[in-house]
Amino acid sequence: MVVNLKDEKEEFIEKILGISKPCYIELVEEDIAIKEIHVYLNYPKGTRFKCPNCGKNNSSYDKRNKTWRHLNICEYKVYIHAKVPRIKCCNGTPTITPPWAREGAHFTLLMEEDMLKLAKMSTIVKAANYIKEYDMVLWRVIHYYVNKCRAIADFSYVTNLGIDETGRKGRRFITNFVNLDTRRVLFITEGKDHKTVKEFVDDFKVHGGIPENITNVTCDMSASFIKGIKKNFKKAKIIIDKFHVIGLINKALDKVRREEAKDNPLLKKQNIYGLRTKVI
């Protein structure tokens, strides 16, 4: 069942959605059965719009109906429908991008911001299920903003680098490259050998990074990583990650414990992995 909301609610909805002049709410529909609210926007006849190329004001000659999903209101999905104008100007017939969404998007800017926050706090599948969208839809939004941020990333100030891989045995591994001073990820690539270091260096240079400025590189005792570091960061000191050193010490202590436990019953069924070993 579709019910038209009363006119006095439209002003309240305009404030919630952030709708500003010359746009106005022409119609609001609420579908109780599927918990959806549809807001239809329009603009007064004769409204002139600024050309995105030259800035000249022009009247529209055509309209295209578009829809964007907005933030939920009281568990109701909210969709904004608008007649987006096209103008004739200096460079063909550009379509005006509305202030509430980016060009080509199917979500409002506020909705995309919320999607990114959810993606940081949970897995993509869980975040997508929460907002009732396909995970690939969420991935497209994430890829857009990640690529946008990386396009303007400046690595010229990076001097201390951290390298570590993660994955499961028998499955694909990825290697992370991190700026240790800011604790921000600089680059992620598949694999865990010396070639991954070369891939990072190529991307590092594209973003203004200078390999000669890297003074310290922290990694595990992987021979592949050490080979790649020595080849690509000739002035850098290699620092072995203390957690890997602690891990080796604990394994060595446990090996000694097992040998000693054969003659000393007090050491049987003991586990030294929970002990905290201090490394200076």
SS3 state at 186 = strand
> What is the rounded CA–CA span in Å between residue 175 and residue 46?
56
**Per mean pLDDT, which of 3-12, 179-188, 262-271 is the most reliable?**
179-188
Amino acid identity of 180? Answer: L
Same domain, 13 and 89: yes
**Residue 274 above 50 pLDDT?**
no
How many domains does one find in the chain?
3
Q: Which residue has the tokens 């001073």?
A: 181
Same domain, 133 and 94: no
Domain annotation covers residue 177:
yes
Q: Give the residue with greater pLDDT, 21 vs 213.
A: 213
Among 31-45, 147-161, 192-206, the least confident range: 31-45
Same domain, 8 and 97: yes
Domain annotation covers residue 261:
no
Same domain, 92 and 112: no
Same domain, 144 and 174: no
Same domain, 112 and 140: yes
Same domain, 126 and 55: no
Q: Give the residue with greater pLDDT, 111 vs 5.
A: 111
Range of the domain at 9: 2-101
Q: What CATH number does the domain containing 226 carry? A: 3.30.420.10
**Residue 276 above 70 pLDDT?**
no
Each residue's pLDDT tens digit, 124-160: 999 999 999 999 999 999 999 999 999 999 999 999 9
Same domain, 13 and 49: yes
Each residue's pLDDT tens digit, 200-221: 999 999 999 999 999 999 988 8
- State phi, psi for 150 to the nearest 5 degrees: -70, -25
Domain annotation covers residue 136:
yes
**Residue 10 above 70 pLDDT?**
no
Alpha helices by DSSP H, 192-241: 194-206, 223-232
Q: Give the residue with greater pLDDT, 182 vs 261.
A: 182
Provide the 10 A C-beta neighbour count for residue 114: 17
Same domain, 118 and 72: no
Same domain, 11 and 93: yes
Q: Give the residue with greater pLDDT, 164 vs 278.
A: 164
The DSSP result for 30-66, as a single string, is EETTTTEEEEEEE--TT-EEE-TTT--EEEEEEEEEE
Same domain, 199 and 229: yes
